[in-house]
């Protein structure tokens, strides 16, 4: 594979990328809200069959087309002799192919937009999405190259409303040394053996407490029940008023991530920004309390949660503002991506009894073994060593495509595998097409956890957590949390799932939150007699 930056040395090193825990819906609207509204209004008027609007539309189209062409030229759309712009279509002036993309994204097969173009143009093609000329990559090698390149080649590209809500010091938006530092601190926290054991114990007790209160008489919503499990490990808050306040404000905040980028009183974005302000105030208070206790020696130096890790960094770059912004960033995957992962696993298992039985056997076997040893709680490694459970999670990540792809913007002309990605263009590394490619996975739409017995998870055709220096630092934590939930679910309950549907856009989720009716198992684990007792 020939990969390199145009006019510079090749950049293959382990370099950076950035995440989309949400997908880039309103970017187009950010850039041209008025034009968007205008085009629809104009089309409606044509149906009234009046020549004046038709003329107006024609003139407008020519103007828009010219603007687009000029923008593309400015963006460096002309390929140099050795590098060719991938084939494809830029679609309509300004709106490009956004409408086709979005309409496919709302369907059960969002990848159909890509599949049609793959057949016509190949795995890498050009398009115009969300207001930007875009190279779409459904080629695993090209996507890996993009994700491994650093900010000298590509920077994260997010919708304006999302960037505004995240704040400029969010890890999702910062680049270079500061991003590496924050990434390293967060990743390091989730790797420390002491913290791994504490976070496992915290999550375990939260899950048990929650499950103890599940009613058998009415359905529970798995998508809701899987939230809040991680908050203590991130922020250190115990259940109580502050935790309730944070959950409420977070709910208000997250609703704005997919909103129109209009920040006026009463708009969605405005309300979300206000909610974020209130969350930041609470987090700053938590940070101040922690700093005070540390300096007065009331607590030890050993960090107990992610805030502790970030405040113990000695560099002055990690201000309270930056720490609060990043704590809110971490709450998004914790409160959204991981719950969706668990919910999808429950959905897939509900319709695959064979996998459910094997999962149950593996988990009951572990629980019995631990009971015989007199151990009530499991450790991080116990969960992670459940090989079939891990395969179920891996397969859920492949099939569910919680993060369908990642958007970057080229900050210079980049050439990869013979394709030119011009300066100023976006590049959309679309994992979903790779994860559902039958050349890579037999019967790709079938939930088949057994495929992972043989398959290599570390190949570039499996990237649910991205790659490069922005590889998700919470990937093990996500697996751990899913394992803890599934372990307690299958060892304590049987369930019947109501009908529900996966929605893929703007974020992946279950339409009705995945209602299930649970029944407690009549099996108890008697620690003293080391035997399984039917009560
Ligand atoms: C199923 C669950 C999850 C999925 C599918 C997921 C996916 C991803 C992906 C694809 C990226 C790369 C983004 C990019 O290259 O721009 C990423 C980055 C990130 N993830 Fe996750 N993630 C999950 C859970 C978590 C959890 C539990 C945490 C921590 C609490 C977390 C924290 C982060 C952070 C901080 C980044 C940004 C890293 C950086 O830009 O340096 N994620 N995630």
Q: Please report where in the chains the tokens 């398959």 appear, as a residue.
A: 455
Question: Does residue 361 surpass a pLDDT of 60?
Answer: yes
Cα 440 to Cα 52: distance, rounded to the nearest angstrom: 54
Atom nearest to 330 CA in ligand 1: 30
pLDDT per residue as tens digits for the range 107-148: 999 999 999 999 999 999 999 998 899 999 999 999 999 999
Peptide bond into 252 cis (omega under 30): no
Q: What is the pLDDT of residue 429?
A: 97
Quick one: pLDDT at residue 194? 84
Q: Would you say the ipTM is above 0.85?
A: yes
pLDDT above 60 (res 413): yes
Residue 365 corresponds to which tokens in the numbers above? 């076997």
Nearest protein CA to atom 16 of ligand 1, as residue: 18
SS (H, E, C) 181-243: HHHHHHHHHCCCHHHHHHHHHHHHHHHHHHHHCCCCCCCEEHHHHCCCCCHHHHHCCCCCHHH
First to last CA, the chain: 62
Give the three-state DSSP class for 154: strand
Greater confidence, 49 or 466?
466
**Partners of 405 in the beta sheet?**
430
Distance CA 246, CA 33 (A): 32
Which atom in ligand 1 lies closest to the alpha carbon of residue 326?
35
Annotated binding site for heme: 472
Mean pLDDT of the chain: 84
pLDDT confidence of residue 11: 32
Taking only the tens place, the pLDDT of each residue in 246-300 is 989 998 998 888 788 889 999 999 999 999 999 999 999 999 999 998 888 777 7
- What DSSP character marks residue 497? E
Whose alpha carbon is nearest atom 38 of ligand 1? Answer: 470
Select from 472, 475, 477, 485 the residue to mutate for testing ligand 1; criterion: most ligand atoms less than 8 Å from CB: 472
Split at pLDDT 50, 70, 90, the class of 381 is very high
What is this structure's pTM?
A: 0.84
**Do the Cβ atoms of 414 and 77 come closer than 8 Å?**
no
Q: For 244-258, what is each residue's pLDDT tens digit?
A: 899 899 989 988 887
What's the pLDDT score for residue 313?
A: 86
- For residue 372, the CA-to-ligand 1 centroid distance in Å is 37
68 close to 97: Cβ distance less than 8 angstroms = no
Residue minimizing CA distance to atom 39 of ligand 1: 470
Phi, psi angles (nearest 5°) of residue 429: -85, 110
Q: Does the pLDDT at position 38 exceed 90?
A: no
Q: Record the tokens describing residue 296, joined without a space.
A: 């007065």
CA dihedral 357, 359, 363, 365 (to 10 degrees): 50
Q: Is the CB of 338 under 6 A from ligand 1?
A: yes
Most ligand 1 atoms within 8 A of CB, residue of 19, 180, 471 to mutate = 19
Contacts 24+ apart (CB under 8 A), 101-105: 101/127, 101/129, 102/25, 102/505, 105/23, 105/504, 105/505, 105/506
Count, residues in the chain: 535
Share of the chain above pLDDT 70, in %: 82
Nearest-CA residue for ligand 1 atom 42 is 474
Q: CA angle 450-500-465, nearest 5°?
A: 50
Q: What count of other Cβ atoms lies within 10 Å of the Cβ of residue 193?
A: 10
Could you read off the pLDDT of 113-123 as tens digits, one per residue?
999 999 999 99
Question: What are 48's two structure tokens?
Answer: 């009234």
Q: pLDDT category, 25, cuts 50, 70, 90?
A: very low
Residue nearest to atom 41 of ligand 1 (CA): 470
**Cα(421)–Cα(120) distance, integer angstroms:** 19
């Amino acid at each position: 594979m020939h990969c390199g930056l145009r006019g510079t040395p090749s950049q293959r090193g382990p370099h950076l990328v950035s995440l989309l825990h949400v997908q880039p819906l309103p970017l187009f609207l950010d850039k041209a809200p008025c034009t968007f509204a205008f085009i629809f209004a104009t089309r409606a008027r044509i149906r009234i069959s009046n020549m004046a609007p038709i003329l107006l539309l024609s003139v407008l189209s020519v103007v828009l087309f010219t603007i687009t062409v000029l923008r593309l030229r400015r963006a460096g759309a002309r390929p140099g002799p050795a590098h060719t712009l991938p084939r494809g279509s830029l679609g309509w002036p300004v709106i490009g192919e956004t409408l086709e993309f979005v309409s496919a994204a709302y369907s059960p097969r969002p990848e159909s937009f890509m599949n049609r173009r793959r057949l016509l143009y190949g795995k890498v093609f050009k398009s115009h999405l969300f207001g930007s000329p875009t190279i779409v990559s459904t080629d695993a090698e090209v996507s890996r190259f993009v994700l491994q390149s650093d900010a000298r080649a590509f920077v994260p590209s997010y919708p304006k409303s999302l960037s505004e809500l995240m704040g400029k010091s969010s890890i999702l938006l910062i680049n270079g040394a500061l991003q590496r530092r924050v990434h390293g601190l967060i990743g390091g926290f989730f790797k420390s053996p002491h913290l791994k054991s504490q976070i496992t114990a915290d999550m375990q007790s939260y899950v048990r407490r929650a499950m103890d209160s599940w009613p058998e008489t009415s359905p529970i919503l798995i998508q809701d029940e899987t939230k809040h499990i991680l908050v203590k490990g991130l922020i250190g808050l115990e259940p109580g008023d502050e935790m309730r306040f944070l959950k409420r404000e977070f709910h208000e905040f997250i609703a704005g991530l997919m909103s129109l980028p209009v920040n006026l009183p009463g708009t969605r974005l405005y309300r979300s920004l206000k909610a974020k302000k209130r969350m930041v105030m609470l987090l700053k208070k938590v940070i101040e309390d922690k700093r005070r206790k540390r300096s007065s020696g009331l607590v030890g130096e050993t960090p107990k949660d992610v805030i502790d890790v970030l405040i113990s960094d000695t560099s002055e770059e990690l201000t309270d503002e930056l720490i609060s912004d990043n704590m809110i960033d971490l709450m998004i995957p914790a409160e959204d991506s991981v719950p969706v992962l668990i919910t999808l696993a429950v959905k897939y298992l509900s319709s695959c009894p064979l996998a459910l039985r094997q999962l149950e056997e593996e988990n009951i076997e572990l629980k019995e073994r631990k009971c015989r040893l007199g151990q009530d709680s499991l450790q991080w490694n116990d969960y992670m060593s459940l090989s079939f459970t891990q395969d179920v999670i891996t397969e859920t990540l492949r099939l569910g495509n919680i993060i369908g792809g990642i958007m970057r913007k080229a900050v210079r002309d980049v050439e990869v595998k013979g394709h030119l990605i011009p300066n100023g263009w976006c590049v959309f590394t679309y994992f979903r097409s790779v994860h559902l490619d039958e050349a890579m996975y037999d019967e790709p739409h079938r939930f088949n956890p057994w495929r992972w017995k043989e398959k290599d998870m570390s190949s570039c055709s499996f990237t649910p957590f991205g790659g490069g220096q922005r590889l998700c630092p919470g990937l093990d934590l996500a697996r751990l949390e899913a394992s803890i939930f599934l372990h307690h679910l299958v060892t304590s309950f049987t369930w019947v799932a109501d009908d529900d549907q996966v929605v893929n856009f703007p974020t992946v989720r279950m339409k009705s939150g995945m209602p299930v009716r649970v029944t407690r198992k009549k099996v108890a684990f008697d620690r003293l007699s080391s035997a399984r007792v039917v009560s």
